[in-house]
Chain A
Amino acid sequence: MKLKIIIGLGLVCIAFIISCQSDDQLEFNRYYSNGRTIYQSKCQNCHGAKGEGLLALIPPLTDSVYLKSHKDSLACIIKYGLSKPISVSGRSFEGQMPVNDLPSVEIASALTYITNSFGNKMGTITSQQVDSDLSGCR
Chain B
Amino acid sequence: MGKAISAIAVILLLNACRFNTNDKKILPIYGNRQPVTKTVNGATVTDTIYQTIPQFKFINQYGDSISNKSLNGDIYVADFFFTTCPSICPIMHRNMLDVYNAFKNTPDVKIISHTIDPKHDSVAVLKKYADKLGITGNTWWFLQGKKEDTYKLSESYLVRKPQEDAKQVFIHDGSFLLIDKQKRIRGSYDGTDPKQVSQLIEDIKTLRSYPDEIKVK
Contacts and interface: CB of A to CB of B under 8 A. Distances in A.
A67 interface: no
A48 B192 CA distance: 12
Contact of A58 (B87, B88, B90, B134): B90
B131 A56 contact: yes
Contact of A46 (B90, B129, B133, B134): B90
B186 interface: no
Contacts of B129: 57
Interface residues of B, number: 14
Contacts of B86: 46, 96, 98
Nearest to B134: A55
A96 B93 CA distance: 17
A96 B89 CA distance: 14
Interface residues of A, number: 12
Nearest to B131: A56
Interface string B71-91: 000000000000010111011
A26 interface: no
Contact of A45 (B84, B88, B133, B134): B88
B94 interface: yes
Interface string A91-120: 000011010000000000000000000000
Task: Determine which residue in A48, A54, A98 has the highest number of CB atoms from chain B within 10 A of its CB, and name it.
Answer: A54
A54 B94 contact: yes
B153 to A, nearest CB: 25
Task: Determine which residue in B94, B133, B134, B192 has the highest number of CB atoms from chain A within 10 A of its CB, and name it.
Answer: B94
B132 interface: yes
A57 B84 contact: no
Task: Determine which residue in B84, B91, B129 has the highest number of CB atoms from chain A within 10 A of its CB, and name it.
Answer: B91
Contacts of B91: 44-46
Interface in A11-63: 44-46, 48, 54-58
A46 B86 CA distance: 8
A57 B132 contact: yes
B185 to A, nearest CB: 26
Contacts of A95: 84
A54 B84 CA distance: 14
A102 to B, nearest CB: 14
A55 B88 contact: no
A48 B131 contact: no
Nearest to A93: B132
Interface of A: 44-46, 48, 54-58, 95-96, 98
Nearest first, the 7 A-B pairs at minimum CB distance are A56-B132, A98-B86, A46-B90, A45-B91, A57-B132, A54-B90, A45-B90
